[in-house]
Structure 1
Amino acid sequence: MRVEAATVSDAEAISALIVELSEPFFLSPSREGAQPFLASVSAEAERGYLSSASFSYYVAKSGGSLAGFIALRDNSHLFHLFVAKAFQGKHLASQLWGVAKTEALRDGNPGEFTVNSSLSAVPVYERFGFVRQGEVQRMHGISFQPMSLRSGQNGA
């Protein structure tokens, strides 16, 4: 599957995919307290990120539909990585990470990355070479595990 730079026209599909896959992030089934998170992944917010020089987005599409995407903030923070259910387990996350990491290194990143991983995605990031940093965080109605990848660690 081909991975390419995303455009602002991808914002709706990106937001929809995040919302579809975000249920495991919430601290409460009612999504209580998660309004800041949900606002941060709205189509409007995604359009803003896609328009900003601080973000790099890459998408993979199948038959014109979004199969997955990745976004880096400030060329070092893995901001988003989502793969549609139909494409999970097919190495698309690895392919997206490979493209984003290669581009970041090409753009001057020294091989140091961070991510706030959903708890269910920790094993994926560990396969990429990320290591857990500190305790699980709970804020804005969601939980996540801070992780980092440094030069010389597996995958960098």
Structure 2
Amino acid sequence: MSSNAVRLRLGLPDDAPAISRLARRVASRWILPDQPPDAGQALLRRLGARALRQNIRDGQRFHLAWLGGVLVGFAAMRDDSHLVQFFVSTRYQGRGIARRLWQRTMDDAIRRAGTHRFTLNATRCAVPVYRRFGFVATGPERPSPTGVLTTPMVLEAAPGRQA
């Protein structure tokens, strides 16, 4: 199956359980091994359906990637400039889904708010992916307020870019 069969759409509050299942599964496999135990548990709580549903209601824009009836990835953007969460199912990694999902998320923020500077805090396993998207580290890896180890990164999109 190619990434062309993937359907992208905005997330709704009712999508929170599916988003949570995907995020917790991917986080357990890729993120938690590099994190202090308390930070990992705090992260899993923030990836619960109730918390994600509230984030959607509070205005975070969740872009979802579906393959048939299966949620295979999502990106969550706050304030049209800060990528809060970005997950692609392990089974579907390496198929271009992450790039399409990031492109859609970035284009949406540019269209909505004219954003040209994007930020995020990358976990260790995600730094190489974000570098391929054009992000650069702005500092060393450090613990977030919740203890999750992340690297701050930024992407300056070309000002003339059209969504």
Decide: shared fold, TM above 0.5: yes
2:49 counterpart letter in structure 1? A
| 2:104 paired residue number | 99
- Give the structure-1-normalised TM-score: 0.89
| 1:86 paired residue number | 91
Question: In 1, Cα distance between the equivalents of 2:24 and 2:98?
Answer: 18
1:40 counterpart letter in structure 2? R
Question: In 1, Cα distance between the equivalents of 2:140 and 2:78?
Answer: 22
| Alpha-carbon distance, 1:146 to partner | 0.8
Q: Do structure 1's residue 117 and structure 2's residue 129 form an aligned pair?
A: no
Question: In 1, Cα distance between the equivalents of 2:112 and 2:158?
Answer: 18
* Superposition CA RMSD, Å: 1.9
| 2:26 paired residue number | 21
Q: Do structure 1's residue 144 and structure 2's residue 150 form an aligned pair?
A: yes
Secondary structure at the residue paired with 2:102?
Answer: helix
The alignment-based identity, stated in percent, is: 34
Secondary structure at the residue paired with 2:38?
Answer: coil
Unaligned runs of 5+ in 2: 1-5
Name the structure where helix makes up a greater proportion of residues.
2
| 1:127 paired residue number | 132
2:56 to 45, 50, 54: 50
Contact 1:25 1:144 in 2 (8 A): no
| Alpha-carbon distance, 1:63 to partner | 2.2
Contact 1:8 1:47 in 2 (8 A): yes
Unaligned runs of 5+ in 1: none
| Alpha-carbon distance, 1:33 to partner | 4.0
Secondary structure at the residue paired with 2:61?
Answer: strand
- The worse-fitting range, judged by mean Cα deviation, of 112-121 and 32-41 is 32-41
Deviations 1:13-33 (A, max 9, x none): 1111111111343324xx234
Contact 1:130 1:149 in 2 (8 A): yes
Pairwise mapping of residues 4-15 of structure 1 onto structure 2 (< 5 A)?
A: 4-15=9-20
| Alpha-carbon distance, 1:35 to partner | 3.5
| 2:3 paired residue number | none
1:63 counterpart letter in structure 2? G
- Give the structure-2-normalised TM-score: 0.85
Q: How many residues align?
A: 152
| 1:67 paired residue number | 72
